[in-house]
Structure 1
Amino acid sequence: MSIPKIELHLHIEGAAPPAFIRGLAQEKGTNLEGVFNKDGSYRFENFNQFLSVYEAACTVLTGPDDFGRLTTAVLEQSIEQGVIYTEAFLSPDFCGGGDVGAWREYMHAMQEAAAKLPQIEMRGIITCIRHFGPDQAKTAAICARETAGEFITGFGMGGDEMQGTQGDFAYSFDMAREAGLRLTTHAGEWGGAESVWQAVRDLKVERIGHGVQAIDDPALVDHLAEHQIVLEVCPGSNVALGVYADWRSHPIERLRERGVPVTVSTDDPPFFHTTLSEEYDLLGHHFGWEEETIRAVNVTAANAAFCDAATRDKLLKALEPAS
């Protein structure tokens, strides 16, 4: 597919190629027993196991240099898929334990690695981890506030959506908003439509990570469409984790038809055996998406990106059909 792609929902650690993590483990003599299948892929059977394997894999990422190398590996994968702009979720909890000084070193390593790949633009969304609790989230928000700028442009929340409520984290989101950061949060992946309502009402985010369970509440769908709240949809992830049984039952096309702005991302692609090109191929196969729809979805992503006006104009220009 020749259409340039824009990805808004990508976890930097979750995008790590398994071979990269195995290589680091070997270098450091770290035992990652139980993390990989015999074929070398990540090993898990449900969402909670996925979180455990994810965090175990992160144990070999122990310094700024590791995250610089990781950024290079992830962005090279994205470039192969025709991605020209990506936003990656970056967690200070995995990068220095939430200490601002340590976080700066990790951030600079990732920013420098990204700058060496001119084929792609990268921005960082600092992400607190929901199941680490509201107090720990405040340390992530402080890191976000102190490093907001050209590279760090957003703040969000990932992790176990069933822990607490969105509103429990309002203090951290208010801090990030006051620092000029754009806001998103995971909702409506596991927590139902109510979790999306909480995100919109209590955190006042402009984008929702996943958000697909909004389809179960027609009033919520209308609200998202009316206020043009963008969903960062990751269909392959949702099917792989069992949020939906198969691609045909996934609601992305129904949401789009109702006027909800949707984008397409891979979430944690090696975990879910997917790529962004494969996502679009399957959307074409199951829902008849052709070039016009794919281009329109990427224009939506460009307009929703947490970037400066000059970068957005550049992305929109790249998405114009060849004359």
Structure 2
Amino acid sequence: MSLKNVPKVELHLHLEGAAPPAFIRGLAKRKNMDISGVFDADGGYAFTDFRHFLQVYEAATATLQTPEDYHRLTLAVLEESAANGVIYTESFLSPDFCGGRDVGAWREYLHAIRDAADQAEREFGIVMRGIVTCIRHFGPEKARQTALCAAETAGDWLTGFGLAGDERVGKPKDFAYAFDMAREAGLRLTAHAGEWGGAQSVRDALHDLRVERIGHGVRAAEDPALVEELAETGTVLEVCPGSNIALGLFRSWRSHPIGGFFDKGLKVTVSTDDPPFFHTSMTREYDRLADAFGWDDAVFTTLNTTAVNAAFCDDDTRAALLRRLEKSDA
């Protein structure tokens, strides 16, 4: 039985990475851009490893050039998420791709994204909030510019700040200034770690950036002391199993550490990361996790309640989401 209609909460979704391939091809055609190397013979995104994935991701993103492009993208992404039962999503947004980290241009892009999110909430019943992310492999100086964009637009909708990109470039502490800027602006903090950087990258993000959530964090499984620390501190992990398996971090769903994390009492959530790149959806994630670990509705309710309580949203939104989850259990 598919879990498509189970209400779901997603905390780790890259907006550009969720762009349907047909959407990107359509933009490229209208703009006479040659991005043929981005796709495989079946029309999906084509990449060989994580570094190549980043290159393909940025090539596809190059077709998104105006606020209107992002308005259309946001609607397409949220419609797809809602069709898979997602009632709330937090999406990573990058001023690097939206106006080249210029605050004025970023405001225009953000207005378009938020307008589309409001429309999607009316039409599809899905609630969205934004998390600005600096791109690790673009370097600390550009991260400061990104943090300024975030600080200038922080509020009830733009609620978080994070770090994404290639974990093998630099150290979390290199981005401490940008995170301090975001913290002072009232933004809540997350960071990608423990995907390609190993268990130590999780510890570094926690201690040097003082984040409350970790994107991925799965390599923490290699360090029992770190697993204990995560459990004791209640740090929430934004786990994306399908992404990890597609990129070769783990061989199978049953070998993925999310099952062990849950059994040990860690606060784990489930997300898709960049769903069309990894041929996944929130429905597929739930179905495969149910198959791999025998998880039932009660487990998924726990996961979603954890996600709502960890969400970077206001208390009224949180309460409304909890009511929706409770109603679905009745």
Q: TM-score range by the shorter chain?
A: over 0.9
- Which whole-Å CA distance do the structure 1 matches of 2:120 and 2:113 have between them? 11
Displacement after TM superposition at 1:3 (Å): 2.5
Q: Percent identity?
A: 63
1:271-296: CA deviation from partner (whole Å, max 9, x where unpaired): 00001000000000011110000111
Instruction: Select which of 114, 123, 126 maps to 1:120.
Output: 126
Q: What secondary structure does 1:248 align onto?
A: coil
- Counterpart residue identity of residue 84, structure 1: I
- Counterpart residue identity of residue 154, structure 1: G
- Which whole-Å CA distance do the structure 1 matches of 2:6 and 2:54 have between them? 33
- Which whole-Å CA distance do the structure 1 matches of 2:34 and 2:243 have between them? 27
User: Which residue is equivalent to 2:84?
Assistant: 81
Are positions 1:4 and 2:7 aligned together?
A: yes
User: Which residue is equivalent to 1:63?
Assistant: 66
- Counterpart residue identity of residue 227, structure 1: T
Are positions 1:156 and 2:159 aligned together?
A: no
User: Which residue is equivalent to 2:276?
Assistant: 270
- Which whole-Å CA distance do the structure 1 matches of 2:225 and 2:147 have between them? 32
- Which whole-Å CA distance do the structure 2 matches of 1:62 and 1:170 have between them? 30
Instruction: Select which of 162, 184, 188 maps to 2:190.
Output: 184
Q: What secondary structure does 2:75 align onto?
A: helix
Q: What secondary structure does 2:250 align onto?
A: coil
Identify the range of structure 1 (245-254 vs 227-236) with the bigger mean alpha-carbon deviation: 245-254
Displacement after TM superposition at 1:33 (Å): 2.0
Contact 1:96 1:106 in 2 (8 A): yes
- Which whole-Å CA distance do the structure 2 matches of 1:148 and 1:226 have between them? 30
- Which whole-Å CA distance do the structure 2 matches of 1:20 and 1:63 have between them? 14
1:138-169: CA deviation from partner (whole Å, max 9, x where unpaired): 01100000000011000001000000101110
Displacement after TM superposition at 1:257 (Å): 1.1
Describe how 1:1-323 pairs up with structure 2 within 5 A: 1=3, 2-118=5-121, 119-320=125-326, 321-323=328-330
- Which whole-Å CA distance do the structure 1 matches of 2:208 and 2:24 have between them? 37
- Counterpart residue identity of residue 183, structure 1: L
**How many residues matched?**
323
Q: What secondary structure does 1:112 align onto?
A: helix
- Counterpart residue identity of residue 259, structure 2: E
Contact 1:3 1:295 in 2 (8 A): no
- Counterpart residue identity of residue 292, structure 1: A
- Please, what TM-score do these two structures have when normalized by structure 2? 0.97
- Which whole-Å CA distance do the structure 1 matches of 2:234 and 2:329 have between them? 28
- Which whole-Å CA distance do the structure 2 matches of 1:226 and 1:11 have between them? 29
- Which whole-Å CA distance do the structure 2 matches of 1:176 and 1:44 have between them? 33
Displacement after TM superposition at 1:23 (Å): 0.3
- Which whole-Å CA distance do the structure 2 matches of 1:257 and 1:69 have between them? 41
Contact 1:95 1:103 in 2 (8 A): yes
Displacement after TM superposition at 1:245 (Å): 1.5
Displacement after TM superposition at 1:212 (Å): 0.5
1:24-48: CA deviation from partner (whole Å, max 9, x where unpaired): 0001000002100111000001001
Moved >3 Å (runs of 4+): none
- Please, what TM-score do these two structures have when normalized by structure 1? 0.99
Displacement after TM superposition at 1:248 (Å): 1.5
- Counterpart residue identity of residue 115, structure 2: E
Contact 1:92 1:143 in 2 (8 A): yes
- Counterpart residue identity of residue 88, structure 1: S
Displacement after TM superposition at 1:322 (Å): 3.8
Q: What secondary structure does 1:176 align onto?
A: helix
1:227-264: CA deviation from partner (whole Å, max 9, x where unpaired): 10000000000000011111121100111111110000
- Which whole-Å CA distance do the structure 1 matches of 2:10 and 2:287 have between them? 15
1:170-208: CA deviation from partner (whole Å, max 9, x where unpaired): 000011001000000000001111000000000000000
1:81-110: CA deviation from partner (whole Å, max 9, x where unpaired): 010100000000000000000000000000
- Which whole-Å CA distance do the structure 2 matches of 1:282 and 1:212 have between them? 17
